[in-house]
Amino acid sequence: MTTTSPRRGRIVGAALAVALLPALAACGGSEPAADAASGAASDTVTLITHDSWAVSEDVLAAFERESGLTVKQVPMGDAGTLANQVVLTKDSPLGDVVFGIDNTFASRVVDAGALEPYTPAGLDASAQPYVLGDGALTPIDRGDVCLNTDVAWFEEHDLPEPTTLEDVAKPEYKDLLVALNPASSSPGMAFLLATIGAFGDDGYDGTGWTGYWAALRANGVKVSDSWEDGYYSEFSGAGEGGTRPIVVSYSSSPAYTVSEDGSATTTHALLGTCFRQVEYAGVLRGAANPAGAQRLVDFLVSQPFQADIPGQMYVYPADASVELPAEWTQFAPLADEPFEVPAADIAANRDSWIEKWTATVIG
């Protein structure tokens, strides 16, 4: 350590060296190419993503060989954080392409003008309906947020499993449900949207979605602040000591609870209670390498990448024509008719919906 070196001159020298460390490291060539924002050579394309981003090395390598591009992958935070970062930096983009904006945050990013519209020619017809913002956002993958049940618990208690949103508000399911706080959890927000899509302002006997949540509250719903906490600490199906057999989770969750021999799963997703989450990619406005950015989006909707999605990120490809792993079709199918709420409505009402929900459920 040179912290307290005997000569003042050396102290200063050491401190200067540290102060300049970022600069030195930046010049040190620790990265193959300069960053996106400084007019980098056009053979590097920077992809900013959320933390759940993953791709098989060989699939990415094949793209890099074929295109002559080097993809710099930069994960930064969760989906909400990522969307906000894109909005905050719209005048000075963080990279060329963003992946991981979902439909609950999509309008915020589109309205901010942070994206350059581009729709890849290779986008499958099945994914076309999901396109948002006049082509600013291209759908890459899909997943459903649904109620999950603990199969064994219902067998033991000789109670039929619930199948609809209305069911879990009924007296026989009192004190059994774990929901997630939409103000702090993205699946929590998605499930709130499922109930808003299902009941609107005048469904559920004219009381609307707030009436439904009031009924859930009267029926003893437990609210956790994060998915981890709800699933592992409260849900009996996780096997970690939780006591409630119904939880807000994903339609793909049961594929994680398959028995050793692969014959059965210990949890079910209730496919009549789902909200469809779609994750998007977009070209950032002001990208240093716009041509490379478009090539990269082309790659994200191409067959090799779409087929790689389930095994890597555990969501469904947006391209419905891509073959799924066998155990997915068996244990974790997508909902046929998920509840939907238009992205523009979500952007306009997100704040007030969360506040209404908080007033209704937390009080």
Partner 1 sequence: MTGRRPLRVAPPAVGWAVAAALPLAFLGVFFAWPVAALVARGFVAEAGGLDLTGLRDVLGAPRTWRLLGTTLAQAAAGSAGSVVLGLPVTYLLYRTRFPGRTLLRGLVTVPFVLPTVVVGVAFRALFRPDGLLGFAHLDETFAGVVLALVFFNVSVVVRTVGGLWERLDPRAEQAARALGASPARAFRTVTLPALAPAIASAAAVVFLFCATAFGVVLVLGGAGYGTIETEIYRRTTQFLDLRTAAVLSILQLVVVSAALWAAGRARARREHALHLEHEDVAAHRWSVRSLPDVAAAVATALVVGGLMVTPLAGLVVRSLRHGDGSWTLDNYLALGTTGGRNALVVTVWQALATSLRTALVATAIAVVVGGLVALVVSRRPRGSGARRAVGALDAVVMLPLGVSAVTVGFGFLITLDRPLGLDVDLRTSGLLVPIAQAVVAIPLVVRTVLPVLRAIDPRLREAAAVLGAAPGRVLRDVDLPIALRSLGLAIGFAFAVSLGEFGATAFLARPDSATLPVVIFRLIGRPGAQNYGMALAASVVLAALTAAVMMLAERLRGDRAAGAVGGEF
Which parts of 258-317 interact with partner 1 (CB under 8 A)?
A: 267, 311-312, 314
What phi, psi does 198 have (nearest 5°)? Answer: -75, -45
Which one-letter amino acid corresponds to residue 18?
A: V
53, 313 contact by CB (below 8 A):
yes
Identity of the residue, 129 or 363, whose beta carbon is nearer to partner 1 in the bound complex: 363
Residues numbered 107-136 forming contacts with partner 1, rule: CB under 8 A = 108
CA atoms within 13 A on the CB side of 299: 25
Residues in the chain: 363
Instruction: Please identify, among the stretches 137-145, 159-167, 211-219, 350-358, the one whose residues bind partner 1 according to the rule CB under 8 A.
Output: 350-358
What secondary structure letter does DSSP report for 226?
Answer: S
Give least dist CB 341 to partner 1, A: 16
CA atoms within 13 A on the CB side of 124: 19
Identity of the residue, 38 or 125, whose beta carbon is nearer to partner 1 in the bound complex: 38
Give least dist CB 91 to partner 1, A: 9
Q: What's the distance, Cα to Cα, between the start and end of the chain in Å?
A: 55
Identity of the residue, 22 or 129, whose beta carbon is nearer to partner 1 in the bound complex: 22
Give least dist CB 70 to partner 1, A: 12
183 binds partner 1 (CB under 8 A): yes
344 binds partner 1 (CB under 8 A): no
181, 224 contact by CB (below 8 A):
yes
Q: Which of 43, 60, 77, 271 binds partner 1 (CB under 8 A)?
A: 77
Identity of the residue, 276 or 350, whose beta carbon is nearer to partner 1 in the bound complex: 350
Which residue from 48, 20, 47, 45 is spatially nearest to 32, judged by alpha carbons?
A: 45
Residues numbered 220-239 forming contacts with partner 1, rule: CB under 8 A = 223-229, 231-233, 238-239
Six-digit token string for 204: 């559920």
Identity of the residue, 130 or 280, whose beta carbon is nearer to partner 1 in the bound complex: 280
320 binds partner 1 (CB under 8 A): no
Residues numbered 139-168 forming contacts with partner 1, rule: CB under 8 A = none
Instruction: Please identify, among the stretches 138-146, 207-215, 294-302, 346-354, the one whose residues bind partner 1 according to the rule CB under 8 A.
Output: 346-354
Q: Which of 42, 89, 219, 330 binds partner 1 (CB under 8 A)?
A: 89
Which residue from 156, 273, 271, 160 is spatially nearest to 212, judged by alpha carbons?
A: 273
- Other beta carbons less than 10 A from residue 16's beta carbon: 10
Residues numbered 16-75 forming contacts with partner 1, rule: CB under 8 A = 16, 18-19, 21-23, 25-26, 31, 34-38, 46, 48, 51-54, 72-75
Give least dist CB 125 to partner 1, A: 29
Give least dist CB 26 to partner 1, A: 4
190, 275 contact by CB (below 8 A):
yes
Spatial distance between the Cα atoms of 339 and 346, rounded to a whole number of angstroms: 13
Q: Which of 42, 70, 84, 207 binds partner 1 (CB under 8 A)?
A: 84
Q: Which of 41, 66, 68, 88 binds partner 1 (CB under 8 A)?
A: 88
Q: Which of 63, 69, 95, 209 binds partner 1 (CB under 8 A)?
A: 95
Give least dist CB 322 to partner 1, A: 17
Spatial distance between the Cα atoms of 33 and 269, rounded to a whole number of angstroms: 45
What secondary structure letter does DSSP report for 134?
Answer: G
Identity of the residue, 130 or 244, whose beta carbon is nearer to partner 1 in the bound complex: 244
Spatial distance between the Cα atoms of 70 and 61, rounded to a whole number of angstroms: 9
Identity of the residue, 267 or 277, whose beta carbon is nearer to partner 1 in the bound complex: 267
Give least dist CB 229 to partner 1, A: 5
Which residue from 77, 122, 79 is spatially nearest to 278, judged by alpha carbons?
A: 79
- Other beta carbons less than 10 A from residue 58's beta carbon: 10
Which residue from 245, 235, 273 is spatially nearest to 152, judged by alpha carbons?
A: 245
